[in-house]
Structure 1
Amino acid sequence: MSAGQDAITEANTCSPEQADDLCRVWSLFDNSSARIAHLDLGLRLIGSSVGFADVFGLSVEELPGLALVDLVHVRARDTLTSRLLSVARGERSRFSDRVAALTSEGRTCTELTGIAVTDDTGRIDSLVVLLDLEPEPADDTAGSPATDVRKPLTRMEALVLEGVAAGMSTVQLASKLFLSRGGVEYHVSALMKNLEAANRSELVSRAYSAGLFRRGSWPPLVTEGLVE
């Protein structure tokens, strides 16, 4: 019996929303190109599809026993661990967020979705995660903004960018970050130069377009793993 067929029994113990998720997710194990993995409640890999292992330049035989968080950037690990554990404890049935993954090609951003898996008594006994890698930019982007989401910002650049995106003035940022007004303007100017933005509004727009902010966060927060 395939993993996808096993999901039919699994889905019977879940809510309708979870059942739809599980049938879709488990069926992906039958597709070698899918990027999906199975975790125990200690957040260690039990197994994965070939597509998931390929992302990290590993074989499916090498993954069991590895901690999932060891496959993402060090600055993303605490947040990812917290959110996965919230699913494992049943505080939410799933979550989806962008993280910086350490792939075989270097570091890249990926959408990571985690879903709780229950046994036949309805108790959570494991998790599944699904990766959705962001596409590489096309070769003809020479005229586009000089934005590389794989290049980390400094901690101060991230704080300044978050403040600007939240609508804070130079004076407010200077007070919050213990900088002079000139220091704030220096960092804003550097960010505008790097993102080829003409003003603060364009800076924020280009930062969102480049995927520098976490999805759905307010106040805006720079994605974990993109900060040195």
Structure 2
Amino acid sequence: MTTNGEIYYNWRNHFMVLLDRVPTPIAVCRQDGEITLANLAMAVEWGTVPGRLPGRRLQEFFRPRSAAQLDRLAEAVRLGRRSRYALEVRWPPGPEGPQRSGEFQIDLVDGAYEPRPLLLAVLHTRRPDPPAPAAEVSPVEEQILALVASGATTAAVGKAVGLTLDGVNYHLTRLSRRWRVPNRTALVARAYVLGVLDTNQWPPRPAGSA
């Protein structure tokens, strides 16, 4: 016999599989901003994985641009109003990274296993124009980034571009230091933000390639 708990966890797992296929950053939060679910796109904004976000609060990552917008949202949550609310926010993509901006669209939704409505927060980012570092990436580094973005191992990358494992790691470390990112997930995310990789292509490939 299937219990309510089993139904909940099955639902949660299926929901997460679907969310991770959505390229838009999405989080489900309690009314105090505590994250209960977050998809891969949201985690990539901070160079981490979805499993490390539950229990954290959106306020730790995103700073509202307008106190008035935040006050309206807080009042709507308090009164339980079912509508969509916009909240402009700013945030860095990682340690010492340049500040970014965007807008949350926040809806109050009923949770089947929650006593109070949840917040569905969908982040629409404003991508900056590609800055100078994008032009500094060599053709070999472009190929390496595209292969890493596709999920290739270090050995597979080296075989594809004609480098040893140490050679591949050298380029990845060099790019990570230049862009000030902590790991490969954040490095790939930064490559897309800077316009090095084509956002409309799969498998990943350098922007502007034929």
Tell me which interval the TM-score lies in, with the shorter structure as reference length: 0.3 to 0.5
- TM-score, normalisation: structure 1: 0.43
